[in-house]
Amino acid sequence: MLSDEVESPDWWLLRLGRRMRDRQPDLDYWWDLFKGRHRLPELPANAREAFREFQRKSRTNFLGTVANAPVHRLRALGITDSEGNPDDDAARWWQLNRLDSRQKQVFRTALSQSVGYMIVGPHPTRTEDNDRPAPLITAETPSECIVEHDPATGERRAGLKAWYDDVARVGRATVYLPDRVVRYVTKQRGPGRLPWGRQAWERVEDGEQEHDLGALPMVDFPCRPDLGEDPEPEFAGVIDIQDRLNLGVLNRMTAGRYAAFRQKYVTGHKFRKRTDPMTGLEVVEQPFVPSPSAVWASEGENVKFGQLDATDLSGFLKEHEADIRNLLLISNTPAYYFATDLINISADTVQALDVLHLAKVGEHMAHFGEALEDVMTLCARQAGVERDFTEAEVRWADPRQLNPAILADAATKKKAIGYPLAVLAEDMGESPQRVRRIAAGAAADALLGASLLPQQQPGAAAGTGTGTGDAA
């Protein structure tokens, strides 16, 4: 039976596990919204499955675009020191753990489900020169991970990763603390939600291991957290507009199917009735079937045929466009993602439409950059490298979508007023490693060029005569 001592690994297991269980419905809901599996517009209670299938066609996933738009602009190039010099160890760990691609997984998870995670641990196969295991960085999902912060300092106090092992058919969990890692397992059970009762978990034999990382090896990447509030996905403020859009599309589809064409009617005709042999219900025979070759006739008196006016769908379309504009405006997503009225716009107009979006991306860079610095600090400690990354800087690719010709022109003008080549290469969006190669290559070319210049002979100063004829 697990211990109930406050802040013991057993206590953290149950506390964080229950918190992770309680937030799972929200995570599932947000992920469904991101993937476009929105809730269907409301129906009468007796709606048939055929109409539900009709409903499903009304869903248009704008929330995925809202979350993906910043992800497309977020690309960390690497880590440099406080003076902008690339760190060789950080670059090696970066490539070893494929952070060029895994960072996108974490960013997309954070913006679609409110938070993403990275865990740093010992690499199972790679070692450093000092025979310590190389750092292993894994990208994690909030469905399996959670972190609790100290309310006074904001530092990470404890973390949990819990998942279902479908091979052994047991639940597994790892509690991460600043000085140790403790592993747990459940009794053998079928798939489903993990239990969080005190009797359900037990420690793995020899499952407690101390570490010298000096900090929690799980790092969270929250989506623009507010003080005192839990983080929310990027599209949290426009979910209602997405629901309204789906309902508007459903109404337009219904009108398009049932009222966009002229409906026929007949009055004064006596319809025949018969009994359905399958159901025993009395049904009305319908002799008037629309067809290009059909002729409708009735023997009744005062029979009149007519048709109703078709429903105008332009109002539905205008309402749809207005809702989309509101969604893009509130979420600070560039309006050119919905470029109905934007034709032959200039580059200055695109930049103006990008202002609020770039400000939002800058906030993400600040939060995610701090988290990446923490990840690199943990990597250094895991590798036994004496390196302080608290003053390091994460180099980001320029989130602006600029024409290469404009970048080259700006670099030329900066070069003319004395900007160093390394700084110009940074402004052009090169990675720290390529900046070093560019600067080294330019220095080598300059040295080679200087060595090929003709050497001036000693004493052969310009304008001085040394001939014997002048000596007389």
Q: Strand 76-80 relative to strand 180-186: parallel, antiparallel, unpaired?
A: unpaired
pLDDT at 471: 43
Q: How much helix, strand and coil, in percent to the nearest 5, is found in the chain?
A: 40, 20, 40
pLDDT of residue 216: 95
| 8-state DSSP, 39 | P
**Cα distances (Å, whole numbers) of residue 221 to 104, 121, 169, 407:** 12, 17, 30, 31
CA 378 to chain centre: 24
- Rounded Cα distance, 194 and 423, in Å: 52
- The whole-angstrom separation of Cα 360 and Cα 411 is 26
> Which pLDDT tens digits describe the chain residue by residue (472 residues)?
788 888 889 999 999 999 999 999 999 999 999 999 988 876 555 556 777 778 888 888 999 999 999 999 999 998 887 777 888 889 999 999 999 999 999 999 999 999 999 999 999 999 998 899 999 999 999 999 999 999 989 899 999 999 998 878 899 999 999 999 999 999 877 667 899 988 899 999 989 999 999 999 999 999 988 888 889 999 999 999 999 999 999 888 888 777 766 778 888 888 888 888 877 888 888 888 777 777 888 888 888 888 877 778 888 889 988 999 899 999 999 888 776 666 666 767 777 788 899 999 999 999 999 999 999 999 999 999 887 777 788 989 889 877 788 788 888 888 889 888 888 887 777 877 788 788 788 777 777 777 777 766 666 555 555 444 444 3
Residue of 368, 380, 99 lying closest to 214 (CA atoms): 380
Residue 208: exposed, middle, or buried by beta-carbon count in 10 A (0-12, 13-18, 19+)? middle
What pLDDT is stored for residue 85 in this prediction?
Answer: 80
* pLDDT confidence of residue 181: 96
Give Cα 417 distance to the centre of its chain: 39
DSSP 139: E
Q: What pLDDT score does 256 carry?
A: 79
CB atoms within 10 A of CB 182: 19
| d(C-alpha 342, C-alpha 344), whole Å | 7
Which residue reads 């997405």 in tokens? 242
CA distance 332 to 357: 5
Q: What is the pLDDT of residues 179-221, one digit of tens each?
A: 999 999 998 776 678 999 888 999 999 899 999 999 999 999 9
Question: What are the φ/ψ torsions at residue 129 (nearest 5 degrees)?
Answer: -65, -25
What pTM value is reported for the model? 0.76
> What's the pLDDT score for residue 457?
62
Bridge partners of 116, per DSSP, are 221
Task: Please tell me whether residue 377 adopts helix, strand or coil conformation.
Answer: helix
Place of tokens 């219904």: 254
- 143: how many CB neighbours lie within 10 A of its CB? 16
- Classified as helix, coil or strand, 398 is coil
Burial of 99 (0-12, 13-18, 19+ CB in 10 A): buried
pLDDT for residue 366: 93
Q: Do the Cβ atoms of 377 and 55 come closer than 8 Å?
A: no
- The confidence score (pLDDT) of residue 161 equals 97
β partners of residue 214: none
The phi, psi pair for 211, rounded to 5°, reads -140, 160
Give the separation between CA 131 and CA 374, rounded to whole angstroms.
Answer: 23
Secondary structure letter of residue 332 according to DSSP? T
Q: Are 374 and 219 in contact (CB under 8 A)?
A: yes
Locate the DSSP E strands across 109-217.
Answer: 115-127, 133-140, 145-149, 156-165, 170-176, 180-186, 201-210
* Cross-strand partners of 265: 306
Q: Is 383 in a helix, a strand, or coil?
A: helix
Identity of the amino acid at 270: K
